[in-house]
């Protein structure tokens, strides 16, 4: 990949992704295999005025070895230095840049029961720090190709050609070609126009139906807004958390989902690529995992057992089936990309920033909306070319939102 293109991408991540402010700290999370791109991101962060830039390096094979060889007791340990680092970041609120390139099957074979027990132990501790930072800092997630990921997407190509092909696909759907910053300004404006239409409707209930078995309803609280594209921190800094993004999303009434939801794309969850699955919901809770594959079913059952909120929904997202990502005709095997190919839902944590005028509300007022809380937030795709979505509004109207997989408004 040409150096000029990589530098343009890095600049987009820093300027439009996290929108680094003068004298702000920046933290980059990336695999050691991504060092060639990380250096451009770090340099762009300094050019944007960052006070200091720190890189949290990771390496998926080492993470797998930890789960294979360490005891549960050891894995549960959160050393004092690590907790101090979290406290420091709560205080400093650095801009967080997450670069992903991992093998979709990279953690396959690890003991799911062991992973769940560890997550249930450390999750509540880390949740405390996350809640203290909610809506107060900028963050973004972006992808670059890893060799095994590229070969997963393009199995018939050589490793070199697969990397080139995945780079091209990522750059296209992230709007890097041409003037990337202006591309994103226009994209955010288009998404804002769509959310304005949705919010003007006053959606009360959404009904989803598709020939694959999806048939469910879910409610939206009257105090909730649909959001899309960029977000704004409580201090007024605009940023883009997901690059790419094509969704208009909100958080539902957590006890309202009833019916059957069938996934339409595979999902990489806890190191296992699961497919051909769905859930049956009653009064907001997933009471049954629908899946013939026993391994996949076990993974999903453990996922929704993580905590009380893991079996309930925290997000409904509307994405047209003819989105730019779906038009690539690729299955990325990565949620950042596949969730923006079509409509999706998310199990777990909801978004308080979707509450109307949340910036002006007290913690007590926000809690009254009673959104779902959880240690997890796992998106899974449900969009199809025959998906129809109908809205019942708070003023008693019935409005067709999606017809045959795409926008009807």
At residue 242, the pLDDT reads 95
Give the pLDDT confidence of 133-187 residue by residue, as tens digits.
988 999 999 999 999 999 999 999 999 999 999 999 999 999 999 999 999 999 9
Chain Cα centroid distance, residue 7 = 24
Same domain? For 136 and 208 the reply is no
Q: Residue 286: beta bridge partners?
A: 281
CATH classification at residue 37: 3.40.1830.10
Q: Are 342 and 91 in contact (CB under 8 A)?
A: no
Element (H, E) at 218: strand 215-219
* Residue 401 is assigned to a structural domain of this protein: yes
Res 63: pLDDT: 94
Cα(339)–Cα(344) distance, rounded to whole angstroms? 6
Any domain includes 294: yes
Rounded Cα–Cα distance for residues 317 and 342 (Å): 9
143 bridge partner residues: 100
**pLDDT given at position 270:** 80
Q: Report pLDDT for 16.
A: 98
In a domain, 69, yes or no: yes
Domain count within the chain: 2
pLDDT recorded at residue 273: 86
The reported pLDDT for the residue numbered 385 is 94
Q: Which of 119, 144, 169 is the last residue of a domain?
A: 144
Residue 249, burial from CB neighbour count under 10 angstroms (0-12, 13-18, 19+): buried
**Which of 202, 200, 145 lies closest to 171 in space, CA to CA?**
145
Q: What is d(CA 296, CA 334) in angstroms, rounded to the nearest whole number?
A: 17
Residue at a domain's end among 144, 161, 189: 144
Same domain, 80 and 219: no
- Taking each helix axis as running N to C, give the angle between helix 80-92 and helix 112-133, from 0 to 180 degrees, rounded to the nearest 10: 30
Gap between the Cα atoms of 190 and 182, Å rounded: 13
Question: Which H/E stretch holds residue 53?
Answer: strand 52-58
Q: What is the pLDDT of residues 65-98, one digit of tens each?
A: 999 999 999 999 999 999 999 999 999 999 999 9
* Residue linked to tokens 């199990």: 347
Predicted pLDDT at 366: 83
SS3 295: helix
For residue 299, the enclosing domain spans 201-227+246-407
**How far apart (Å, rounded) are the C-alpha atoms in residues 223 and 357?**
9
- Could you tell me which residues are beta bridge partners of residue 389? 208, 402
Terminal CA-to-CA distance of the chain, rounded, Å? 40
Mapped onto helix, strand or coil, the DSSP state of residue 374 is coil
Ranges of residues in the chain whose predicted pLDDT is under 70: none
Residues 207, 324 within the same domain: yes
Q: In this predicted structure, what is the pLDDT of residue 326?
A: 92
């Amino acid at each position: 990949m040409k150096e000029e293109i990589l530098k343009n991408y890095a600049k987009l991540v820093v300027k439009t992704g996290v929108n680094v402010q003068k004298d702000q700290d920046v933290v980059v999370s990336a695999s050691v295999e991504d060092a060639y791109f990380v250096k451009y991101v770090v340099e762009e962060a300094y050019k944007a005025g960052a006070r200091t830039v720190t890189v949290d390096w990771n390496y998926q094979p080492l993470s797998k070895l930890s789960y294979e060889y360490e005891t549960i007791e050891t894995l549960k340990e959160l050393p004092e230095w690590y907790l101090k680092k979290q406290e420091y970041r709560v205080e400093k609120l650095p801009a967080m840049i997450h670069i992903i390139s991992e093998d979709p099957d990279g953690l396959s074979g690890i003991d799911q029961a062991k992973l769940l027990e560890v997550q249930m132990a450390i999750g509540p501790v880390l949740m405390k720090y996350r809640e203290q930072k909610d809506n107060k800092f900028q963050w973004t997630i972006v992808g670059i190709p890893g060799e095994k990921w590229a070969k997963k997407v393009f199995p018939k190509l050589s490793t070199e050609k697969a990397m080139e092909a995945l780079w091209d696909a990522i750059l296209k759907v992230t709007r890097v070609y041409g003037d990337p910053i202006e591309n994103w300004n226009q994209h955010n404006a288009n998404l804002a126009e769509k959310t304005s239409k949705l919010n003007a409707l006053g959606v009360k209930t959404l009904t989803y139906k598709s020939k694959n078995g999806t048939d469910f309803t879910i409610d939206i609280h009257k105090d909730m807004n649909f959001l899309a594209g960029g977000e704004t921190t409580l201090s007024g800094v605009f940023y883009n958390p997901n690059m790419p993004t094509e969704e208009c999303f909100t958080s539902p009434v957590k006890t309202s989902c009833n019916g059957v939801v069938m996934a339409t794309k595979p999902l990489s969850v806890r190191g296992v690529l699961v497919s051909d699955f769905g859930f049956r919901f009653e009064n907001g809770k997933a009471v049954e995992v629908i899946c013939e594959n026993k391994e996949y079913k076990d993974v999903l059952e453990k996922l929704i057992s993580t905590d009380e909120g893991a079996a309930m929904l925290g997000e409904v997202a509307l994405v047209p089936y003819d989105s730019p990502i779906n038009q690539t005709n690729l299955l990325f095997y990565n949620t950042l990309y596949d969730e923006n190919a079509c409509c999706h839902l998310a199990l777990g944590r909801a978004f308080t920033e979707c509450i109307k005028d949340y910036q002006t509300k007290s913690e007590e007022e926000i809690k009254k909306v009673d959104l779902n809380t959880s240690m997890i937030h796992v998106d899974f795709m449900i969009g199809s070319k025959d998906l129809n979505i109908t809205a019942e509004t708070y003023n008693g109207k019935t409005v067709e939102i999606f017809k045959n997989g795409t926008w009807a408004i």
